[in-house]
Amino acid sequence: MARTEADVGVVGAGVMGLAASLLLVEAGYRVTVVAQHLAGDLTPDWTSPWAGALLAPHPDAGFPDLQENSLKRWHRLRHECRDAGVEERDIYEYYDNRKDLSSIWYKRIYPDLTAIPTEDLVSGAEIGFKYRGLIVDPNAFLPWITRLLKEKGVKFIQRRISSLDELKSITGAATLVNASGLGARELANDEKVHAVRGQTMFVPCDSRNMDRVTIHQGSHYTYAIPRIASGGVILGGVAQPDNYSRDIDPATRDDIMRRVNELTKGKFFWVDHKGAIVKDLVGFRPARTGGIRVEREDRVIHAYGLGALGYVFAFGAAEKVVSLVQEVNRAKL
């Protein structure tokens, strides 16, 4: 294969790799992306298409600056790029492992964030709050950003690589970005990288009039997230570390349906979750013990370990990637 000539070679075409590529191009760099999976591929090993993609900050994930900066970019996309699949909805969050809102740092970026009165909490919740936030439909966003990058001159090569040296050889780039998700366990020799299995259901319905996202965290992880462009709703979920089963677990499906109806006060009793209309989804979130890694190692910029928060972190982490690439270039002078 003839090698391309790029300023930066990126491995990985999930939301992290694509966001980094976009910001690098906007900063004036020539970019080539090498990835085993591209937009349109449907495999559990590539998590971005399967994500619930709720653009809600997380109180315990760390790096609040990256989360906040990323959300600013998502808000821009909503206003400027209707085809990107970003929508605004009311978000209702419930926790059964917190006593108050003191850890909810993102109160400062959502001035309308208000506590839900105790008498209105769902069963088992200790606290709840609501605010106006964002969701994104991966089935709209991933093709959209891929088209945009191609229009901006980014080259895509669909290929599995076994080393960062191979990425350098293919792209001809002196600076590399490792956004390989679970692949970072091999490419970065990082034993902290591991999979967290998710199982959800996509239920076709007219979700345009669904006015809210509902999510419960703590002792269980349950949510109902509209997917407007796809014409349905995602019901979930589970977080199962180091579970690599690709098979649908019927007991998990039953439990998700029970929890979703408890959370939404029966809003989805109409769903025949064992019927042919429901599509079961399994994906493996690219998690990392100790949290995300966005840092420079000589001429390699690592950006992986985002776990279930890939969409939340993507553009904020991408901004840091650009600054680290610029740091590499300054070091050459």
Instruction: Please give the full DSSP string across 44-80, using - where no structure is assigned.
Output: TTS-GGG---EE---TTSS-HHHHHHHHHHHHHHHHH
CB atoms within 10 A of CB 151: 9
Give the residue among 33, 69, 36, 70 at the shortest CA–CA distance from 53.
Answer: 70
Q: Is 48 annotated as a binding residue?
A: yes
246 annotated to bind ligand: no
User: Reduced to 3 states, what is the DSSP secondary structure of residue 261?
Assistant: helix
Residue 151's SS3 state is helix
Give the distance from CA 189 to its chain's centroid.
23
Bridging pattern class, strands 86-95 and 54-55: unpaired
CA–CA separation, 33 and 20 (whole Å): 10
The candidate with the shortest Cα–Cα distance to 19, out of 330, 224, 326, 319, is 319
Integer Cα distance of 260 and 280 in angstroms: 15
47 annotated ligand binder: yes
Rounded to whole angstroms, the Cα distance separating 67 from 61 reads 9
Q: Is 110 annotated as a binding residue?
A: no
Long-range contacts of 182-188 (CB under 8 A, 24+ apart): 182/45, 182/284, 182/286, 183/11, 183/12, 183/36, 184/286, 184/288, 184/293, 184/302, 184/304, 184/305, 186/162, 187/11, 187/161, 187/162, 187/163, 188/164, 188/293, 188/302, 188/304
Q: Which residues are annotated as a binding site for D-dopa?
A: 223, 285
Q: Which residues are annotated as a binding site?
A: 47-48, 223, 285
Q: Which residues are annotated as a binding site for FAD?
A: 47-48
